[in-house]
Every structure is written in structure tokens, then in C-alpha cells.
Amino acid sequence: MLATLSTMNIVIWVGVALGILSQGSYSSYTPADNYLLVCGSSQNVTFNDQTYVPDSLQSSVSLKSQGNSFVATSNSTPPSPIYQSARIFTSTTSYKFDIETEGRHWIRLYFYPVPGHNLTSASITVVTENFVLLHNFSFETFNGTYLFKEYAINVTLDNLVLNFIPSNNSIAFVNAIEVVSAPDNLIPDQAVAVSPPGPFTWLSGLALETVYRLNMGGPLVTAQNDTLGRTWENDVKYLHVNSSATNVSVNPLNIKYGPAVSPEIAPNSVYSTAETMGDANVVSVNFNITWVLPVDPNFTYFVRVHFCDIVSKSMNSLVFNLYINTDSAFGGLDLSNLAGNLDVPVYKDFVSNNSAGSDTLSVSVGPDTSSNSLNAIMNGLEIMKISNEARSFVGLSAVETLLEVPPKKNKIGIIIGSVGGAVAALAFIGLCYCCLAARRSRSTPQGNTWLPLPLYGNSLTMTKMSTLSQKSGTASCISLASSNLGRRQQLTEKSDVYSFGVVLLELEETSSALTEPDDNSTNHIPDIPLTSLEPFDNSVSMIEGVNSGTDDDAEDAATSAVFSQLVNPRGR
């Protein structure tokens, strides 16, 4: 008997030692792909201790535009520095990211209608080659000032294309984009379906969207405190009954990661805090702590529950039931036994099918009355929407439908200078430049439709012109992309002109398209990174020369920006 006990002790202590060792030996995860782009900015932006590079300066990202994009900046204080500029799309435009390592990637999108540019009414649709991330989103019908979206998508090609599609006669925009590798073991291929009970397989082929990520009983954990740049918010506002829960916390260094759970699953600041039963050990010992989370009823959800026994003095003293909605997800969960020890993290994955059509998803824990345990605990909770049968997160329109190019009017337009002689003069310079550019471009592979990102010089124009920012008319032009794609017959495109700078940009593209021989009838087009296309450099300096001096505004905004509000991981 004594011998058995001491053997057990040894086993436990070896386990602890191994836990400590393996914790110490974790080399922190380094993502193979790590794109942090601030769109339309002219300079790096630091946010959450990370450097976001202007989209126009990132060499392994290219932009393919069937029309135009331009840039907006604002003098007013954005909700956080990442939101101070935007790239605006007047027609379907794609970012293409070179991918080093296939597998799950975070795609994080930041949207904020930069004031003064009429972006509130913009209608935003974002699709990858396989999945619809956002469809017809508009701030007009959204109850919030900015939108943060996070997706986890298994990229199985050596590139990822993000298409931004404006609805008819509207514009789309984006302020910042992250494309970052996630560890392969983060999201499994299989989870447990709760209703009807059984295995749920082939998650690896589906996309996930973060809807909730909660740090039970703990503070907001921001991206810089999470090894994978995730944000965890406090749970209290989702508690069904506030008094049902009492928060507990221990020193994060007490958390002993074992071989099964690494800090990439969740940081120790998540496992070191928890909600336990509020009235445990008092009158009625038998009740649930329930969190109620509003969700879109038409979807299936991936539910990850994080546990760590930070309250018990001895093993096997915390045994409880876990419910998802009213279904039992895990009965008689003996936490320290499941984890192997006290203070050792463990997590469980489920898939919940809201078959009842309810617009909330609830998760509950309550004591297992068949054990002596009088308490229940939860440390963290993640809820992710699973892409539906249309491979979408919004409705039933598939990528193919949304990417279809609507027929465009067939009219070669002439830009009539409405701004006066200065326009004409500058336009002439632009034409001359473009002839030069077109000549030079012959030395580069023909028919490249991946254009360099348009000049941030335009933004400065936008800012200045915003007092007369109404659409000043329409300009017709030939877009480089459409003239090169043999199957797309349209030569012209009608687009709204927001400012003089944009007219100039369109004119340049028109003339280079006109002067470029349209002899490229293949659809296989070599991709060239942004930085290798030089001809546009001249125009950058030209337009900047016209509008110098507003960079300071952006800098002021950056330095004075107060990030007082947490990035809402719900993104709704």
C-alpha cells in the first residue's frame, strides 16, 4: 500500500518535472507566413507591438485590379492606429499573398469607415478562391464604429488570393489585413458533435470564423500577450446569471503545460483564471453556470472549452458536467484526472449544430451529483463559425457567383477635364509618362495583370479634396487588366471619380493599356511582385509633388490615437 503510494508519487513528480521541462523547452512558434499590412498607408504602423507594413511596400504581395483602387486617410483620431488609412476599391480587386507553408492561416481583416470619404454606405464583399468571408457588409446597417474579422483557413496552394468586391455602383474598402500561419495542430480534423452525438470529421477542409474567444474570470488578453496574436475577452457579459459565477486566479507561472497542450493552444494568462460556482458550498449546490452567446442560427459552430484545475488541493476533487445548449457534451468530467495533474491545462473540441434554430448558443458547467464534487470550472471558451455548404460565412451565395464579372458598358470614353487647364497640363504629362512607361514595360513580361498598388499620393489628394468630395462626374477609361484578359471583352469601364488624383491615375492606366499591344490571348499570366514593376514610380513622385505635406496629418493621427476600446473579436 505504502509502496503503491510512493510509486504514484514518483510518477506524479516525474510528470511534473517533465511538464516543467517541456514548458521550458518550448521554442515559441514562428509563423512561416506573417503578412501584416496596413492598407493605403505611406508608412509603417505599430499596433499591438507589431509592425504593419504599407500594402504598397510589401514585396511578396501583389494587387490585381480590374478597375482602380485609391487611398483614404483621415486627420481625425481613429479607434486605433491600424484604422487611420484605407484602400478603396471601385471594382473587384484582389490581393495575392505568396504562401511559404501550406496549412491553416489566420486571415484578419480590419474595417473602419475613415471619416470624410463616404465609406459608411460602401458595400463590402470579401472572398478567397474558395470561401466567402464577408458578403454585402455595410456600416450603414452595422451597430458599431469598426469591424474586426478573424478567419482560420487551410491554404493548400502556394498563394492566397483575397478578392474585394464592391456591390453595384458602390465601393469596397479595407484598412488592414493579416495573413499569418497557424500551427498545424491548432485545429484538428475531427471533433465531437453533440447533437446528434458522434464524430464530426473533415474540419481541415472547412473554414472557421472566430465569433467568441473568452478568458473566463480574467482580463482582456490582447494580441501581444498571445503567441498566435489572438484576442481573448472577459466573459462576464455573457453570463446568464451573474451571481452564478465567482472568478478565481493564480499566478500564470503556476500553469504547467504538458505534452498535450502548448501555449499555442492558449496562453497561461487564460488558464490561470477561471469562473467557478458562485454559490458553491452554500445552500443549493446543484446549479449550472451558463454562458449565453448570440449566434447566427443558420450555422454550425466549433466549440473549444479550456480547463485547468487551479482551485483544487488534491486530485480528483473537481468532477462536473459540461453542456452545450441543453445537450450533454461531457458528463462526469474529472478534470485533474483528464489533465493528469492539478494546474495542467486541457481542452476539448465539440461541434454544435443549432438544429433548434435558436439564435443563441449556450455553454454550461455544473457539478456532477454522482461525485462528491460541489464545484465546476471553466477557464476559456472559443466559438468559431464553420463555413456552410456554400463555403460561405454569410448566406448561400458561393464564390463563383460573387466573382462573376457583371457585363459592363462598351464605350470608349474621353476624359473631359472639368478641373480646368491645370488638369489638361497634368494629364498631358501623364500621357507622355505613360508612353514612356508602356515602352519600358515591353522589357517586362507582357500582359501582367498584377499591378503595383496605386500610389498613396492619391490619398493626399483625397484628403484635400474632401470638402468637394462629391462624385464630380464620371470618367471612362480602359483598365489594363480588362484589356489583357482575352475572355473579358469589355474595353471600358465606368467608374465614379472621387477626386482629381484619381482621374490622373485612371488616365495613366488608360494610356498604358491603349499603347500596349493586345496580343496576349492566353490566360496564363506571369505574376510579378509589386516592387518589380517600376514604371509607376515616376507617377508616385509626380502626384506626391502636387500634394505634399499631408503625411504629417497621418503621423499626428498615429501618435494621438487612443486605443481605448478593445478589438471586438465578435466582429458583429
Ligand X SMILES: *[C@@H]1O[C@H](CO)[C@@H](O)[C@H](O)[C@H]1NC(C)=O
Residues near ligand X, by CB under 6 A:
44, 51, 53, 103-104, 118, 121, 123, 136, 138, 140-141, 143, 154, 156, 167-168, 184, 193, 195-196, 200, 204-205, 217-219, 221, 224-225, 234, 236-237, 242, 247, 269, 286-288, 296-298, 300, 323, 326, 351, 353, 355, 364, 366, 406, 469-471
CB of 24 to ligand X, least distance (A): 19
Half-sphere exposure of 59 (CA within 13 A, CB side): 3
Nearer to ligand X (CB atom), residue 57 or residue 436: 57
Nearer to ligand X (CB atom), residue 317 or residue 352: 352
Crossing angle of helices 500-515 and 457-465, rounded to 10°? 140
CB of 323 to ligand X, least distance (A): 4
The set of cell numbers assigned to 117 is 470619404
Half-sphere exposure of 498 (CA within 13 A, CB side): 24
Nearer to ligand X (CB atom), residue 397 or residue 446: 397
Nearer to ligand X (CB atom), residue 18 or residue 248: 248
* Chain residue at closest Cβ approach to ligand X: 204
Nearer to ligand X (CB atom), residue 95 or residue 299: 299
Q: Parallel, antiparallel, or unpaired: how do β-strands 34-38 and 50-54 relate?
A: parallel
Could you tell me if 527 and 448 are in contact, meaning their C-beta atoms sit under 8 angstroms apart? yes
CA-to-CA dists, residue 107 to 5, 83, 149, 552, angstroms: 50, 17, 8, 30
Could you tell me if 526 and 446 are in contact, meaning their C-beta atoms sit under 8 angstroms apart? no
Side chain identity at residue 474, one-letter code? T
Nearer to ligand X (CB atom), residue 4 or residue 242: 242
Q: Which of 339, 319, 315 has its CA nearest to residue 330? A: 319
In three-state form (DSSP H/G/I as H, E/B as E, the rest C), the secondary structure along 137-199 is: ECHHHCCCCCEEEEEEEEECCCEEEEEEEECCCCCEEECEEEEEECCCCCCCCCEEEECCEEE
CB of 438 to ligand X, least distance (A): 31
Side chain identity at residue 315, one-letter code? M
CB of 406 to ligand X, least distance (A): 5
Nearer to ligand X (CB atom), residue 190 or residue 521: 190
Nearer to ligand X (CB atom), residue 18 or residue 239: 239
Q: Which of 195, 199, 208 has its CA nearest to residue 152? A: 208
Q: Residue 535 — left, alpha, or beta (φ > 0 → left; ψ -120 to 50 → alpha)?
A: alpha
CB of 296 to ligand X, least distance (A): 5
CB of 132 to ligand X, least distance (A): 12
In our burial notation (b when 16+ CB lie closer than 10 A, e otherwise), range 101-113 reads eebbbbbbbbbbb
CB of 302 to ligand X, least distance (A): 10
The set of cell numbers assigned to 397 is 451565395
CB of 287 to ligand X, least distance (A): 5
